[in-house]
Amino acid sequence: MIAVPLLRSLPHHQVRVTDPFWSRWREVVAQVSLPGQYEQLEQTGRLEHFRRAAQRLVGGFTGFYFNESDVYKWLEAAAYVLDEVPSSGLRTQFDEAIGLVAAAQEEDGYLNTFFQLNHPKLKWRNLGSMHEMYCAGHLFEAAAAAHDCLRDDRLLSVACKLADHIAARFGPGKKLGYCGHEEIELGLLRLAEAANRPDYADLARWMIDVRGSRPSPFDLELDDAEAMTISSFAAHMLRKDGKYSGEYAQDHLPVREQSDVVGHAVRAMYLYAAAAEVADAELTAALHRAWNNLVGRRMYITGGIGPSHANEGFSVDYDLPNFSAYAETCAACGLIFWANGMLHRTGNSDFVDTMERGLYNGAISGISLDGSTYFYTNPLESRGNHKRTPWFSCACCPPNIARLIGSIGRYLASVDDDGFYLNIPAGLEAEFEVKGVKVKLTVESNYPWSGNVKVRVEPTRPVIFALRVRIPDWADDVQTDLPDQESDSEFESGYAVFRKTWRSGDVLTLDFEMDAKWVEANPKVRENLGRVALTRGPIVYCAESVDLKFPPQLFCVDPELPILAEPKSALHGMIDLAVEGLAQTEDFPDALYADAGSIALRPVTARFIPYFAWANRGASDMQVWFRQA
Amino acid sequence: MIAVPLLRSLPHHQVRVTDPFWSRWREVVAQVSLPGQYEQLEQTGRLEHFRRAAQRLVGGFTGFYFNESDVYKWLEAAAYVLDEVPSSGLRTQFDEAIGLVAAAQEEDGYLNTFFQLNHPKLKWRNLGSMHEMYCAGHLFEAAAAAHDCLRDDRLLSVACKLADHIAARFGPGKKLGYCGHEEIELGLLRLAEAANRPDYADLARWMIDVRGSRPSPFDLELDDAEAMTISSFAAHMLRKDGKYSGEYAQDHLPVREQSDVVGHAVRAMYLYAAAAEVADAELTAALHRAWNNLVGRRMYITGGIGPSHANEGFSVDYDLPNFSAYAETCAACGLIFWANGMLHRTGNSDFVDTMERGLYNGAISGISLDGSTYFYTNPLESRGNHKRTPWFSCACCPPNIARLIGSIGRYLASVDDDGFYLNIPAGLEAEFEVKGVKVKLTVESNYPWSGNVKVRVEPTRPVIFALRVRIPDWADDVQTDLPDQESDSEFESGYAVFRKTWRSGDVLTLDFEMDAKWVEANPKVRENLGRVALTRGPIVYCAESVDLKFPPQLFCVDPELPILAEPKSALHGMIDLAVEGLAQTEDFPDALYADAGSIALRPVTARFIPYFAWANRGASDMQVWFRQA
């Protein structure tokens, strides 16, 4: 029995972000990121592929076979942004891209430029490797976003035609098939809602339910020699003995029997994010197991996940190397999607704690402060070797972080029939209806730099509902003030619950203590033994050699020494921290090794900046976890 | 102008190893390693390939294309061992293998079972990737060893026939060609000496001199599409832009213009080891540059080299990760070969310091104490994930460590016209001639466990010569005693020089201080900041969880606390160390991260064992570099 999720996000246009932090990011994405990405989509042939497909040409597809997904993710992000930031240039690009996509679709609904151009005879025969349904899923999400945000249904009809094409071939009583790279499940769920087609949600649920079948449809595909000639990721799906291995694509077990997060991190996140939306009790229990494994044993302090370059994903418990961390930007985005799904299913704020960790650290670290360059991987230590670039041959991350920022309101607040959930106290204006009464709710804040938050409630008439405010796991102290409160606040599932008759003009003030503090890792994380990391509120800090004038690896922490918050950063109003400590000198004999005793330490004050803001001033050494002196 | 090396090794039968340490290893190799490896050679088809080639069959080669080199290295090792440890079983295998090799050779001298069976039309057309000359080089070394140790010239005639075949095709005025994996140069040099064919040495020198030509012969081979169909390592030889890159095979620059050690570590070592034997002043200067780069910036404390799995080789200066260290056993062997070559060219004991570091640590760590299992890679930290195995699909390491142990006398002592060099004071009996007088020199020691060494000199009649004893870099104090010494000892190039009229029965006693001590790494090695490693004499120590009963990563060092040497190890008479220190508990909240302050330390005494002896009692956590408390 599938339960309807307890909570839901508000539609895009009902949450407007107003705090300086996310407003700035949205502006940067609208003015810099999306126009720049569109140029890349054009220059790299991604758009040209649609033109060629529209002309029914053969051949000429270059780059990765899943490259069209970047166009769809760009369209999704543009839809969010155009709803709030009018831009005639962006609008022109948006319209052009939609026209190209629509024209490329074949009569029978099929749409995938790689197969249309280069392998028209091999459609749907290499689901394990070729991301055919993955691309479709991103089209579905883009179509839903254009519908939801702009009431623009041009993509929606393309998407439904493709979804119908797929549904005619795969599903109960038809062919057993799902995608090696999960995403179509999320896409179908979004499309089901936007197009009011519950059968698409049924198809998504079926794909989740049959995943892990034996024999796996991917295993059977390995016998299709012709289809395998185009497979470039098959190596990850094979064991050393040459036999099929399902872990890479979370196809090793039925999802409801899974426990640990394994394989490719982005795939796992997209799968579990979709599963959370349609889970019955048994599936929810499996998701809880996987979640606990991830958050309890396999997640960086930044919310980065998937430490291993080899599989772009998970390795073993407590394996969290800092310097060589993969921690793909897309995986952090996926973690946020899943966390939101788990929050909505359970109403428990623990999931927001992790969602917030990813949002303010390991996800937005993937985009430069000016929105022009990106990280694919997000290590927690650099020796000057890690630089942002404007694009990647596998360019999944740039449009992913753009669509995350564009849809940020989805994560800050939720509602249920009983009222409003302020998950993250960022500045926003929300409109919602509770018990038939329209309510406008305004949050004023300078989050995440300040813990002072003012929530103003304006119902059209007095109405009893619960305003829930999440108490973050990092907050050691929270002060609340609600004049004329009719009842004491309760504490439920990590939320302070203010249930009363709300009248227009009621103001709840909150003050989350935001002292900088040192955090330790579980000793089973061997990389971080003897080390501490600095946090303030939801922000994880790092230090860069560009500020320190020496490599941050030489800095040693004395937790007893003071830390001064400095609200005068040159970096867009962020709070930097001035940390007193000790620095090891690099004086050493001209050799690799020498008898112990030559190391000297000197007192220094080191500037720490938010982790997400690193590598914005050229190549720099960087570190998050610091030795204790 | 090529100078003859200053020093030379003694022929194999003129240095007999007698100390318990190397005697035990030689016995283990003779009784366990070589018989076991021969079984693997048979079971894995390596010997069968020779049988098929002898019958002029087509097809049927399985496994790596260079697999026959393991047979040659096994033959080389067996020749060394059979000279000292008579074994009828080993002798039978030795004879059988020689017969198989000889029968497989083609009329024109060609011999390579991979090409003979699977690609007879592609001979010598993919030198960059296919190790054809590499295999030949190992045959040449085996042939020279059989000749030198056993006066068995069956392989020698096979080898010369193949060398002539190669010399007829490649060389000055013929085709420009050398091997992607260096080794033939060393092989030709050994063969030149054994067969008294200086033209082979000329060919080796030519191959060293033309390496790094532009256009590279390997670059040209990339245009031979047919030959490229069999290449499985081409990816390492290409840059990201698809163009040829020479670094992987040290083909990026002429050798005499090289400065840093780059690319595949074993290849680099074999190249430089050969180059050291034939170097003029300019080439010697290049080798010095490369050596200083390696030893000053790119070598583990164990003598392990080549940190990176990606290229089985070098990365950047000071990049020496412990847990993920590649540090291939073969690369440590190669370092020892090169060090010996540099010693012989220069007479400087610095090279012995490094050679000894590799011999007693990072090389023999590659073989289990019982000789039955091996390491391919030799990390400096384990989380229980690293286990020894009896064989590898790429099985270069097992016979390489066997031939190193079998020929250990080559490294312990050297001679020149002026006398004798005791490079490493292991127990041995040497016979040499100086100024026309035969001298027997006996070293009694329990090295490396004791620094007490007695050197007895027995010339057939009194003779003036210099007995040089290396003063190791790790020895803070050395006591020497030579009764009736006619002159004070001098100190030259790292050797204490005892020049006098030696009479039969003269005894020099030495006492190298062997206190355990903590060593630091250069702070530029970020992985080891705040860490120390324990050494005693030439031995690098580690700790394993099997002894500690907790993961050694939790151990913290206080260098002021005492260390007790314990000569009662169950492990073959080794000296273990009992180290007082502190151990961090693993008590921690049920989470990955928590506010700092929950870590507790408790005093413990930890058993440390020699690094080379780790992983001999099942899977264990292990560490070399320990945090200072």
DSSP secondary structure of A337-353: HHHHHHHHHH--THHHH
* Longest pairwise C-alpha distance within chain B: 78
Which three-class secondary structure state does DSSP give residue A429?
A: strand
CB pairs under 8 A between A and B: 122
pTM of the model: 0.95
For the sheet containing B419-422, what is the strand order? B413-416, B419-422, B463-470, B495-502, B490-492
Under the banding of pLDDT at 50, 70 and 90, the label for residue B1 is: low
Task: Give the span between the Cα atoms of B447 and A124, in whole angstroms.
Answer: 68
Q: Average pLDDT for residues A376-403, to the nearest whole number?
A: 96
Q: Are A447 and A19 in contact (CB under 8 A)?
A: yes
CB A530 to CB B532 under 8 A?
A: no
pLDDT at position B175 is 97
Interface of A with B in 372-401 (CB under 8 A): 381, 383, 385
Q: Is the pLDDT of residue A1 over 60?
A: no
pLDDT at position B565 is 85
DSSP state for residue A12 in the 8-state scheme: G
Q: What angle do CA B257, B258, B264 make, to 5 degrees?
A: 150
Closest-CA residue of chain A to B299: A592
Tokens of B196: 């008294």
**pLDDT tens, residue by residue, A543-571:** 999 999 999 999 999 999 999 887 666 56
Nearest to B595 among A323, A517, A597 (CB): A517
Q: Is A536 on the interface with B (CB under 8 A)?
A: no
Residues of A within 8 A of B598 (CB-CB) are: 520
Query: Bigger pLDDT: A243 or A90?
Result: A90
Task: Give the span between the Cα atoms of A514 and A479, in whole angstroms.
Answer: 12
Q: Average pLDDT for residues B15-36, to the nearest whole number?
A: 96
Task: Give the span between the Cα atoms of B547 and B605, in whole angstroms.
Answer: 11
Q: What percent of chain A has pLDDT over 70?
A: 97
Residue B223 CB-density burial (10 A; 0-12 exposed, 13-18 middle, 19+ buried): exposed
Q: Is the pLDDT of residue A42 over 80?
A: yes
Under the banding of pLDDT at 50, 70 and 90, the label for residue B137 is: very high
Under the banding of pLDDT at 50, 70 and 90, the label for residue B574 is: confident
Interface of A with B in 331-360 (CB under 8 A): none
Query: Bigger pLDDT: B487 or A59?
Result: A59
Residues of B within 8 A of A294 (CB-CB) are: none
Q: Is the pLDDT of residue A488 over 70?
A: no
Q: Is B235 on the interface with A (CB under 8 A)?
A: no
Q: Is B520 on the interface with A (CB under 8 A)?
A: yes
Task: Give the span between the Cα atoms of A567 and A544, in whole angstroms.
Answer: 18
CB B553 to CB A529 under 8 A?
A: yes
Q: Average pLDDT for residues A281-289, to the nearest whole number?
A: 97
Phi-psi region of A252 (alpha: psi -120 to 50; beta: other; left: phi over 0): alpha
Q: Is A517 on the interface with B (CB under 8 A)?
A: yes
pLDDT at position B556 is 97
Q: In the beta sheet, which residues pair with residue B191? A: none
Close Cβ partners of B430 (under 8 Å, ≥ 6 residues apart):
B10, B14, B15, B16, B409, B413, B420, B440, B441, B442, B443
Task: Give the span between the Cα atoms of A489 and B594, in whole angstroms.
Answer: 27
pLDDT at position A566 is 78
**pLDDT tens, residue by residue, B285-325:** 999 999 999 999 999 999 999 999 999 999 999 999 999 99
Q: Average pLDDT for residues B62-67, to the nearest whole number?
A: 94
Task: Give the span between the Cα atoms of B289 and B282, in whole angstroms.
Answer: 11
CB atoms closer than 10 angstroms to residue A476: 11
Task: Give the span between the Cα atoms of B24 and A389, in whole angstroms.
Answer: 57
Nearest-CA distance B163 → chain A (Å): 38
pLDDT at position A232 is 55
CB A530 to CB B554 under 8 A?
A: no
Residue A497: HSE in the Cβ half-sphere, 13 Å Cα cutoff: 14
Residues of A within 8 A of B551 (CB-CB) are: 526
Task: Give the span between the Cα atoms of B528 and B300, in whole angstroms.
Answer: 11
Close Cβ partners of A474 (under 8 Å, ≥ 6 residues apart):
A353, A535, A537, A538
Q: What angle do CA A367, A272, A132 make, to 5 degrees?
A: 75
Task: Give the span between the Cα atoms of A444 and A536, in whole angstroms.
Answer: 20
Close Cβ partners of A399 (under 8 Å, ≥ 6 residues apart):
A37, A70, A73, A74, A76, A77
Q: Average pLDDT for residues A586-602, to the nearest whole number?
A: 90
Q: Are A127 and A182 in contact (CB under 8 A)?
A: no
Note if B312 is an active site residue: yes
CB A584 to CB B523 under 8 A?
A: yes
Q: Is the pLDDT of residue A184 over 90?
A: yes
What's the mean pLDDT when you consider all of chain B?
95
Phi-psi region of B61 (alpha: psi -120 to 50; beta: other; left: phi over 0): beta
Residues of A within 8 A of B532 (CB-CB) are: 596
pLDDT at position B226 is 86
Q: Is the pLDDT of residue B509 over 80?
A: yes
Which three-class secondary structure state does DSSP give residue B288?
A: helix
Q: Average pLDDT for residues A66-95, to the nearest whole number?
A: 95
Q: Which of A76, A183, A277, A312 is catalytic?
A: A312
* Longest pairwise C-alpha distance within chain A: 78
**pLDDT tens, residue by residue, A489-548:** 789 999 999 999 999 999 999 999 999 999 999 999 999 999 999 999 999 999 999 999
Tokens 């080379």 locate to B612
DSSP B362-398: IIGGGB-TTSS-B-SB--SEEES----BS--SS--HH
CB atoms closer than 10 angstroms to residue A405: 26
Task: Give the span between the Cα atoms of A84 and B160, in whole angstroms.
Answer: 81
For the sheet containing A452-459, what is the strand order? A15-17, A428-434, A437-445, A452-459, A506-512, A478-481
Q: Is the pLDDT of residue B155 over 60?
A: yes
Nearest to A596 among B321, B381, B559 (CB): B559
Interface of A with B in 273-312 (CB under 8 A): 295-297, 299, 301
Q: Average pLDDT for residues B100-123, to the nearest whole number?
A: 97
Q: Are B71 and B101 in contact (CB under 8 A)?
A: yes
Q: Is the pLDDT of residue A429 over 70?
A: yes
Q: In the beta sheet, which residues pair with residue A420? A: A415, A467
Residue among A274, A423, A391 nearest A36 (CA): A391
Q: Which of B68, B312, B381, B527 is catalytic?
A: B312
CB B595 to CB A299 under 8 A?
A: no
Task: Give the span between the Cα atoms of B587 and B592, in whole angstroms.
Answer: 12
Q: Are B328 and B450 in contact (CB under 8 A)?
A: no
- Cα B46 off chain centre by: 23
Q: Is A554 on the interface with B (CB under 8 A)?
A: yes
Task: Give the span between the Cα atoms of A271 and A274, in whole angstroms.
Answer: 5
When scoring B593, B622, B626, B628 by the number of chain A Cβ atoms within 10 A, the one with the most, hence best to mutate, is: B593
Residue among B505, B497, B573, B570 nearest B539 (CA): B573
CB A523 to CB B588 under 8 A?
A: yes
Q: Average pLDDT for residues B338-361, to the nearest whole number?
A: 98
Close Cβ partners of B157 (under 8 Å, ≥ 6 residues apart):
none
Nearest-CA distance A586 → chain B (Å): 6
Q: Is the pLDDT of residue B518 over 80?
A: yes
For residue B448, is the peptide bond before it cis, meaning its omega torsion is within 30 degrees of 0? Answer: yes
Q: Is the pLDDT of residue A391 over 80?
A: yes
What's the mean pLDDT when you consider all of chain A?
95
Binning chain A into helix, strand and coil, the percentages to the nearest 5 are 40, 20, 40
Nearest-CA distance B33 → chain A (Å): 26
Q: Are A520 and B598 in contact (CB under 8 A)?
A: yes
Strands (E), A362-505: 381-383, 413-416, 419-422, 428-434, 437-445, 452-459, 463-470, 478-481, 490-492, 495-502
Helices (H) and strands (E) in chain B, counts: 20, 22
Which three-class secondary structure state does DSSP give residue A397?
A: helix
Which three-class secondary structure state does DSSP give residue A376?
A: coil
Say how many Å lie between the first and final Cα of chain A, rounded: 55
Nearest-CA distance B21 → chain A (Å): 26
CB B595 to CB A520 under 8 A?
A: yes
Q: Is the pLDDT of residue B232 over 60?
A: no
Close Cβ partners of A95 (under 8 Å, ≥ 6 residues apart):
none
**pLDDT tens, residue by residue, B255-264:** 999 999 999 9
Q: Which of B396, B397, B444, B544 is catalytic?
A: B396
Interface of A with B in 583-602 (CB under 8 A): 584-586, 588, 590-599
- Count of residues for chain B? 629
Note if B396 is an active site residue: yes
When scoring B297, B592, B622 by the number of chain A Cβ atoms within 10 A, the one with the most, hence best to mutate, is: B592
Residues of A within 8 A of B529 (CB-CB) are: 553-554, 584, 627
Task: Give the span between the Cα atoms of A345 and B590, in whole angstroms.
Answer: 23
Q: Is B519 on the interface with A (CB under 8 A)?
A: yes
Nearest-CA distance A596 → chain B (Å): 5
Q: What percent of chain B has pLDDT over 90?
A: 89
Q: Are B64 and B402 in contact (CB under 8 A)?
A: no
Tokens of B622: 């292990």
CB A585 to CB B559 under 8 A?
A: no
ipTM of the complex: 0.94
pLDDT at position B234 is 60
Residue A325 CB-density burial (10 A; 0-12 exposed, 13-18 middle, 19+ buried): buried
Radius of gyration, CA atoms only, chain A:
25
Nearest to B526 among A530, A553, A596 (CB): A553
CB B324 to CB A321 under 8 A?
A: yes
For residue B183, the surrounding DSSP H or E stretch is none
For the sheet containing A413-416, what is the strand order? A413-416, A419-422, A463-470, A495-502, A490-492
